[in-house]
Amino acid sequence: MTTFTVMTWNLENLFRPSGASEPRNLEEFDQKLENLATGILQIDPDVLAVQEVGSRDAFADLQDKLEGRYAHLQLSSQPDARGIRVGFLSKLPIENSEDIVAFPSSGLPSVPGIDPAGNLDETTRPSRGALRILVKPKPDFPVHLITAHLKSKLLSFPSPSGQPGLPPMMKMSAPGLAVLPYFSVRRRWLLCASRQQRS
């Protein structure tokens, strides 16, 4: 039987050195790339889904460290306010892709939340774009993959302590539930995600 492996990894702000944030210099950046490449090459997945890519150049730098194994790269065109986004590296050709910038109207078109002033509101789009790709491990076996960087506080309500919050699993599952309409029983899907945790 043919195996098909997928790995997901939050790259934790993969930016080239700028002096304003980590990595502070080229030596630290090169070490980060080496550490990432060692882990990826050891596991050797067919497709790597990533979160927190800072720039296309930094992502290409990582791709260059992977011994030519991952010829196909796709990045979301929808970064967040800090400039980070999600993406894929693949050994297999990426047949097509789609930026997911709003919750599908056919499922959960909005989710409740609290605005910065503390008022209840609804959001119809994630704060970070998700990305869907299609690959074919075998000619007759298409697989859709979605990578997302789920915001832990997308859904938050006042708690007895006066601080907004939800149990961690609810924080993570609400944005995931919002993209469920992309999944279909007639298709093969895999959702690859990381969740930002802030205290």
Q: pLDDT tens for residues 130-163?
A: 899 999 999 998 988 989 887 654 444 445 555 5
Q: pLDDT tens for residues 96-133?
A: 999 987 776 666 666 666 677 877 777 766 667 889 99
CA 66 to CA 189: how far, in whole Å? 26
pTM of the entire predicted model = 0.75
Other CB atoms within 10 Å distance of the CB of residue 117:
6
Instruction: For residue 17, give the nearest of 36, 30, 2, 5 by alpha carbon.
Output: 30
Return the minimum-mean-pLDDT range out of 14-18, 42-46, 72-76: 14-18
pLDDT band at 178 (very low <50, low <70, confident <90, very high): very low
State residue 19's pLDDT score.
60
